[in-house]
Amino acid sequence: MPDRGFEPWWRPFRRAGGADVVHVDLTPHVAREAAALAWLDEEERSRRERFRHAGRRRQYTLCRAALRAILCGRLGCANEVLSFVESERGKPHALLRGTPAPVSSSVSHSGVHGLLAVARDGRLGVDVEERVARKDLDALMEAVLAPDERAEIAAAGAGQRIRRFYGLWTIKEALVKALGTGLQLDIAGFAVPVAMRRGVTAGEFRFPHLPAVTWRVESLGNEHFAAAVAHERVPRSDPVGDATASVRR
């Protein structure tokens, strides 16, 4: 069982439409990592060991343990009855006693920042990226941005290029994660809504090939990182629970 005396390394970050977003502190910390490891099951520990770099192991361990703790609180269950299964595209889904849990979730991490998004229902995706200078920025923009988006960034001041690029990239990645098709979807084949490209922080989006489905998209970036969450719009008849509910061990 996880240690009852652990100090959470995650904190509520933002409410984005019907989703709760939580920030996970991924800075190296021996005690936190030991507490997090106690939350993982045998399969997760085996997967953890397959990461060659210590930083990736730390990111995975702290994020997965935080997700487990949050879902246990939300679902009112013990950690031992919670497990995860991955879709054929690699997206994890929570199981409660072997049955799909009535919850949607998504995880992303970059550097020392992790974000978890949790909602009652509807497909969900979150993405976070530390804004770092990249030698391959031009090639990356060519690969992920639509022509209009590339033109707008090219016209922006030098000091704004990186910030605007990461803002668009995280929105697109959040949408792709929510859709769950992985690399099958050409991320440069669709554009972020014009209003969001001009500074509006939230809006609605429809994939060109899937016009019947509406997604709520919100930019969550701050001075430390770029981030976004995408959530499928579904009818709701009652309030969504709090993703930061007390943990049941």
Q: Which of 13-17, 57-61, 237-241 has the lowest mean pLDDT?
A: 237-241
> At 247, is the pLDDT very low, low, confident or very high (cuts 50, 70, 90)?
very low
Tokens representing 36 are: 């997090």
Q: What is the mean pLDDT of residues 21-41?
A: 96
Q: What pLDDT score was predicted for residue 235?
A: 62
CATH no., domain 10-121: 3.90.470.20
Count CB-CB contacts under 10 A for residue 92.
Answer: 15
Q: Tell me: the pLDDT tens digits for 70-113? A: 999 999 999 999 999 987 666 789 999 999 999 999 999 999 99
Nearest to 187 by CA among 155, 140, 131, 152: 140
Query: Is domain 128-232 classified as CATH 3.30.450.40?
Result: no
Q: What pLDDT score was predicted for residue 135?
A: 86
Which residues in the chain are classed under CATH 3.90.470.20?
Answer: 10-121, 128-232
Q: Tell me: the pLDDT tens digits for 152-176? A: 999 988 778 999 999 999 999 999 9
φ, ψ of residue 241 in degrees (nearest 5) = -70, 170
Burial 20-35 (b: 16+ CB within 10 A, else e): bbbbbebeeeeebbeb
Angle between helices 147-155 and 158-179 (to 10 degrees): 150
Q: Tell me: the pLDDT tens digits for 183-214? A: 678 899 999 999 999 999 999 999 998 999 99
Full 3-state SS string of 104-122: EEEEEEECCEEEEEEECCC
Q: What pLDDT score was predicted for residue 89?
A: 67
pLDDT at 140 over 90: yes
Q: What pLDDT score was predicted for residue 2?
A: 57
pTM of the predicted structure, to 2 decimals: 0.90
pLDDT at 229 over 50: yes
Q: Residues of the chain with pLDDT > 90: what percent?
A: 79
Query: How far apart, in Å, are the Cα atoms of 223 and each of 37, 163, 167, 181, 220?
Result: 30, 10, 12, 30, 10
> At 244, is the pLDDT very low, low, confident or very high (cuts 50, 70, 90)?
very low
Q: What pLDDT score was predicted for residue 15?
A: 96
Measured at the alpha carbon of residue 153, what is the angle toward residues 126 and 143, in degrees to the nearest 5? 60
Nearest to 2 by CA among 43, 31, 26: 31
CB 102 within 8 A of CB 121: yes
Measure the CA–CA gap between 38 and 61, rounded to whole angstroms: 10
Measured at the alpha carbon of residue 67, what is the angle toward residues 117 and 185, in degrees to the nearest 5? 50
